[in-house]
Amino acid sequence: MVVTGYGAVTPLGHSVEETWAAMLAGRSGIDTVDAIDVTGLEVRIGGQVRGFTPGRYMPRTVSRRADPCAQYALAAALEACAHAGLVVDERLAPRVAVVIGSGYGPVGSIYRAADTLRDRGPRAISPFAQVTTAMDSAAGEISMRLGAQGPSRAQSTACASGADALGAAMRMIAYGEADVVLAGGADACVTAVDLAGSGNARALSRRNDDPTGACRPFDARRDGFVMSEGAAVLVLEAAETAEGRGAAALAELVGYGASSDAHHWTAPHPEGRGARLAVEAALRDAGITGAEVDYVNAHGTGTLLNDATETAVLRTVLGDRVTRIPVSSTKSMTGHMIGAAGAVELVASILALRTGDVPPTINCEEPIDPDINFVPHRAQRHERLRTALSNSFGFGGHNAALVVRAV
């Protein structure tokens, strides 16, 4: 199936165009968190979506009830539809599905509802609370706004949620459940609770005095990931559907693989067993070998264990090929958008194939594997990029990999 449109809201910008330009410029979207009170927190940095105006994308009746993660997802979906020239009319509506992944869901709304119940009592709780605090709220808002009458659902597999949502969308089209699927991921978990919890798990970077240098994928001095927020949604279509409505294909999504480590809640399997299974499955699904991969958008979180494990997996699965192609982590600039990460990174992979420009891994000053081109500091130009691999590995041992091909 083909990708015909995409949209994004990230710490780098409120559109794909803004996000991509910032990536190629090597600009970080990470800063000191100021949207919440971080007093007393050991980690006070994150990737916030700044200056977002819900009224540009939705009526106030929607923005008042919707959590920021659902707002970001809806904004990204509207951009994706505009980009794809997709109008969900009465004829098409029953064949249009929505799948949105999220690792945390609308946590801000959940925390606020709990505070309201404690401080003001049950009568102050909104009658919309039970739906707008649910994991499927983003998918529901998109479905209702667009009039999409096919299946709409949430996908939650931690940091692999966005990639798994896209994989699920591929299967829906392949199995004839839908002709068009709006799929992606969204999270808005730069909250005091989540910064405290992940910080106490020793998963987050503590470089509070150097926010833009905090996320250091594949660098010897990395000390953890950076919590961020955002969303991305892509329009996937059966090739004949896109052709029938005159939509241009931007890329072809050809492979998806998923697995579980079955090992530990927060640490990857020490030999990368699950990650390797997911990557191998995605390549097999695409009908290619590792020797045909031209670019890897790595999971690359900047944690001690993940980066070492992912490097070993890439060496095992791709062999010598991994030393001859660019491998970069855009999380070095966006931070880790959790459920949105896999979707944003697939968009970046497609743009790399389409333009020949590969976004950098900033802050990679001492590469943990000097033989691999981690695209340090600055974007690189690479001609004849045909196939890209995008990895997403999450807490709970969830692993997903996607393979996308130029058209």
Query: Following DSSP, what letter does each residue of 255-282 receive, concatenated?
Result: EEEEEE--S-SSSPPTT-HHHHHHHHHH
Enter the tokens of residue 208. 């509070």
Catalytic position from the list 83, 269, 336, 382: 336
236, β-bridge pairs = 3, 181
229, β-bridge pairs = 188
User: Which residue bears the tokens 């509070």?
Assistant: 208
Enter the tokens of residue 355. 């333009």
Known catalytic residue at 299:
yes
* Measured distance CA(225)–CA(38) in Å, rounded: 18
* Measured distance CA(206)–CA(301) in Å, rounded: 14
Q: Give Cα separations from 291 to 222, 223, 274, 325, 379 (angstroms).
A: 29, 32, 21, 10, 23
Known catalytic residue at 159:
yes
* Measured distance CA(182)–CA(100) in Å, rounded: 8
CB 71 within 8 A of CB 54: yes
What pairing do the DSSP bridges indicate for beta strands 229-237 and 180-188?
A: antiparallel
Instruction: Indicate the SS3 state at residue 32.
Output: strand
Catalytic position from the list 69, 81, 159, 189: 159
**Cβ burial, residue 369 (10 Å; 0-12/13-18/19+):** middle
User: Which residue bears the tokens 């951009």?
Assistant: 79
Distance between first and last Cα of the chain = 11
**Strands lying side by side in the sheet with 398-405:** 152-155, 96-101, 180-188, 229-237, 2-9, 251-260, 398-405, 387-394, 295-297, 327-328
For the chain, count helices (H), then strands (E).
13, 14
Residues 6+ apart with CB under 8 A from 115: none
What pairing do the DSSP bridges indicate for beta strands 251-260 and 2-9?
A: antiparallel
CB 393 within 8 A of CB 161: no
Catalytic position from the list 14, 269, 299, 382: 299
Active site (catalytic) residues: 159, 299, 336
